Structure 1
C-alpha cells in the first residue's frame, strides 16, 4: 500500500519530519485519526521529539487526552521523552480542551437539570480493602445532594481520595447553572474555615509550571477498569431451595446481580526517572502535594525540573512501524520501564425498578460533581450497560487494593428545597490563597 497506509498521511508526515506537507494536510486532515497502534499524529510527534510538528498539531487542536492501544496519552509520552517546553504546551492545551468541553456541555446539562424535578439525595460511601490493616483505617462518608432548578449542592466530609491518602473536611460544592459569567458556576465552601473559592478553569503560569514539576518528578500512571469481559448474573440465596436474591436498599426493593469479570488494570512507567530522582523526588513530591513552597536556589530563583537529555534515535522506519503487530511497534522514544498489575474483583450491584431517578438523570448530576476522583469512577461504572433498573447499591474498585460500596440510601423529589442552600453565606470570605 502507499505511504499513508489506511489514510494515515498525517502520521507519515510526522514520522518523516515533513513539516511543510503536514501543514498542508492539516487544512483538511483528521487530527484525531488513530493508526493501527491507536496512536494519533500527536502521539508520534511527541515520541519522536518532533517539536515543530507538536506545536503545529496543537495549533490545530489535536486532542491531548486521547489514548493509544496501550492506554497512554500524548501527555504521558511527552513526560517520558522529557522535553519541558513540550510538556508545558500539552498541559496548557489540555486545560483549554477541558474548558471547551465543559462550556460545550453546559447548555445541555443545565437544560437536563431544569427538566427533572427538585430532589434531596443521600449517597453513602464505604471503602474496604482486602488488606486487613488498610481496611481498618479507610474512611466512609455520607454525601448529601440537594437539587433545585439548574442548581446543585453537594455536602461531603471526604474532600479527596487517591493513592491511600485522603483529606477530611466539611466542604460544600455549589453549582449554579444560570451563573453570569459562566466561569462562576462552580463554588467550593470550606464550612469550617468559613471561606469560599470560585473554581476557575484557567490556571496561572505558576500553577502550570508547578503541575509540570509534579509530572516530571512522578511515575506515569494509568489505571483503568477493564469492561470488555464483564457480565451480570442474578445472585442466588438459600441453601437448599435456591432463588434469585432480592434486598431492600433504603426504601427501595432491588434485585441483586453478581458482576463477573471485573478487572482493575494498573500500569506505571518511570523511564524518565533516575535512581537519584526517585530518592530526591519523594521529598519534593511530599512538599508539592502538601502545597509547601518549592525549592529555591542560591539566587532566589525557583528550582524547576529541567528537560532530560533526548533519547537516542531509534532508527525505526515508517514501514517497520506500519508493519508491526497492532500495539507492538518498536520503541520510538525512551526505552520503557514499565510495571503492570491487574486484579480481579468480586462485586455486586443491586438494581431497583422503582427508584424515582433514571440512570441518564444521575449521569447529568454526576457530571456536575466530577471534580472528585471517586465520583468519576462511579460515573465511569454507571456508563456501562447495566441490568434493568437503577443501581441503588454498587461495589466498584477505586484503587488496586481498595473497593468502594456506594449506597443510594435516601431519595425524595421535593418542591420545598430552600434557595438559600445555593448561596454563599454572607459571613464567608473569599479564600485569599486561591
Structure 2
C-alpha cells in the first residue's frame, strides 16, 4: 500500500486501545474507553478505529464509534476512507449509517464555517465578474465536442449570484441550459441556496438534508459501482517562469483579456491519481453496473417489490475471516498490514500534467476573496476543482488565467476576463421570480 496521508498516530506508551478493542470485538470495553480517548486518532497505518470496525465487520463497534462522532471522511495511508472499506465489506446497514454520518458531519463543518464566510463576503466591495471556461482534451475527437461557457458572478452584501449555461460536467457528460445559482447569506441555511432553471422557470432549494429514499438510492449506487478515489497530488509541484524567444530568452509576459498585465508560469509535477476497487462486485454486477447507475442518477427508482417499494441491493455475504490478530496487525510495517477483508481487486493510474498560469498584480480581487466566493458555489463540481487549485500556494499575484485538469483526459482553461466593482447591483437579482415554480427534483445532484 502506498502512502498518501501523513500518520498522526505514531506508536507510543499508550498504544491504540480503541483499535485493539475493535479487533477483539469488545463493545463494552470500547464504550468505556471512548470517554477518555480520541475517536479520530489514527494508528501507524493511518487507520482510525472506525476503519478497522468496518473492515472487520464489527457492526456494533462501528455504530458506537459513529455515535461518538468518529470522522467518516478521514483516509488511511492507502487513501481509503471508512466508507470505501464499508462498501468493500458490503453490509448495507453499515454503509447507510456511514453515508448519513458523512452528510451530517459535512453540514456541521459548514455551519461552523458559515458565520466567518458571511462576514468575509460582507467585507468585500460589491462587484461583477466574468469567468470564461474553455474545456479541451489531448484526445482530438473529444476536444471538438467539449463545451465552453462564460459565467457571470454578481456579489452584493453577503449575496452571490452565478449565471451559467453549463449545468453539470461529470464523466464526459454535460448538461447545457440557462441556470442561475443564488446564495443569500442573510437567510437561514435551509433557505440560503437556490438554483433557478430560467428556461423551464422552475427553482430548487439546495437542501441540507436528504430524504430516506435519496439516502438509500445513494447506497444502492455505491454498492453497485466501483469504489473510486481520485486526487490531485501536488507533492512535487513546481512553478517556473515561462520563457519566450529562440536566441535571447526572456520571461514571458501577457496581457490577459486586454487589461491585466501578467507573468506566465509553467506548472510541473501536477499528478492526477486515480484508483479503483471492485472486489465487492460480481461478474453479473459488472454487466448490469452501467444500466443501474444511469437509471439511479437520472432519478429513476429500480424495480418495485410486492409492496410497491424499490427493490434495494442486499448486503453481501461477509468475506472469509483472514485470522489476522491485533499483534500481527500492529507490528506490521506502516501501510503494509495483512488484509483484513476481501482480497483487493485494484487498479491504479496516474497522469502527469504540465500547465500554465498567468499571475497578475493588476486584478482588483485577492486570492482569499476569490476562495470565499468559490466556497459558496462549490456545489458545481467544476468550481470545486477550481477552488481546490487556487487554494494551493501560488506565485505572487492573482491567477487571471489557469489551466487545470478536470478529468483524466480533459483540461479546463479559466480566464478572468472582466471584473468591476459596482454599487448598482439590484436586490431583485437575488430573489426567486414570482412566476417560477418549485421543482425539488430538477437538479438531482444538488
User: Do both proteins adopt the same fold according to a TM-score greater than 0.5, normalized to the shorter chain?
Assistant: yes
Note if contact 1:4-1:12 (Cα within 8 Å) is conserved in structure 2. no
The match for 1:142 is: 150
**Alignment partner of 1:198 out of 202, 205, 208:** 205
Partner residue of 1:237? 244
User: Could you say if the C-alpha distance between residues 432 and 72 of structure 1 is closer, same or farther in structure 2, counting changes exceeding 3 Å?
Assistant: closer
Match among 407, 410, 415 for residue 407 of structure 1: 415
Q: 3-state DSSP class of the match of 1:193? A: coil
State how many pairs are aligned.
432
Runs of 5+ in structure 1 lacking a partner? Answer: none
For 1:127, what is the secondary structure of its paired residue? strand
Contact 2:301 2:310 in 1 (8 A): no
Q: Which residue of 1 aligns with 2:232?
A: 225
3-state DSSP class of the match of 1:178?
A: coil
1:177 aligns to 2:185 (yes or no): yes
Q: In the TM superposition, what is the alpha-carbon distance from 1:298 to its structure 2 partner? A: 5.2
Shift of 1:5: 6.1
1:29 aligns with 2:63: no
Change in CA separation of 1:301 and 1:178 when aligned onto 2, cut-off 3 Å: closer
Within 5 Å, give how 1:7-406 maps onto structure 2. 7-179=15-187, 181-250=188-257, 251-297=259-305, 300-406=308-414
Residues 11 and 44 in structure 2, CA contact (< 8 A), matched pair in contact too:
no
Distance across 1 between alignment mates of 2:217 and 2:12 = 39
Residues of 2 paired with 1:382 and 1:15: CA distance? 41
Aligned mates of 1:261, 1:3 — CA distance in 2:
32
- 1:125-179 per-residue CA deviation (whole Å, 9 max, x = no partner) reads 1111111111111111111100000000011111111111111121111000000
**Aligned-residue offset at 1:281:** 2.2
> Contact (CA 8 Å) 1:91, 1:208: kept in 2 or not?
yes
Report the 3-state secondary structure (helix = DSSP H, G, I; strand = E; otherwise coil) of the residue aligned with 1:239.
coil
Shift of 1:4: 7.5
Structure 2 unmatched ranges of 5 or more:
1-9
Provide the rounded CA distance (Å) in 2 between the counterparts of 1:235 and 1:6. 52
The DSSP-based 3-state class of the residue aligned with 1:31 is coil
CA shift, 1:301, in A, is 3.4
Looking at structure 2, the residues matched to 3 and 264 of structure 1 have their Cα atoms a distance apart, in angstroms, of 32
The whole-number CA distance in structure 1 between the counterparts of 2:353 and 2:341 is 35
Cα deviation, 1:317-366, whole Å, max 9, x if unaligned, reads 21211222222211111111011000001101111112111111111111
TM-fit CA distance, 1:29 = 1.1
3-state SS of 1:122 partner: strand
Q: Secondary structure at the match of 2:128?
A: strand
- Greater CA drift, 211-220 or 131-140: 131-140
* C-alpha distance in structure 2 between counterparts of 1:93 and 1:234, whole Å: 45
Report deviation, 1:33: 1.1
Equivalent in the alignment of 2:4: none
What SS class does the counterpart of residue 366 from structure 1 fall into?
Answer: helix
Q: Work out the CA distance in 1 between the residues paired with 2:195 and 2:379.
A: 11
Contact 1:123/1:143 (8 A) holds in 2:
yes
From the superposition, tell whether residues 432 and 366 of structure 1 become closer, same or farther in structure 2 (CA, over 3 Å).
Answer: closer
SS at match of 2:152: strand
Report SS of the residue matched to 2:266.
strand
Which secondary structure does the structure 2 equivalent of 1:282 belong to?
Answer: helix
Deviation for aligned residue 1:6:
6.0
User: Residue 88 and residue 5 in structure 1: after superposition, are their counterparts in 2 closer, same or farther (change >3 A)?
Assistant: farther
Whether the 8 Å CA contact 1:3–1:12 is kept in 2: the answer is: no
* Cα RMSD, aligned residues only: 1.5
| Cα distance in 2 for residues equivalent to 1:374 and 1:75 | 24
The TM-score normalised by the length of structure 1 is 0.97
Residue deviations 1:367-409 (CA, integer Å, cap 9, x gap): 1001011111111111111111111111111111111111111
Any idea what SS the aligned residue of 1:257 has? strand
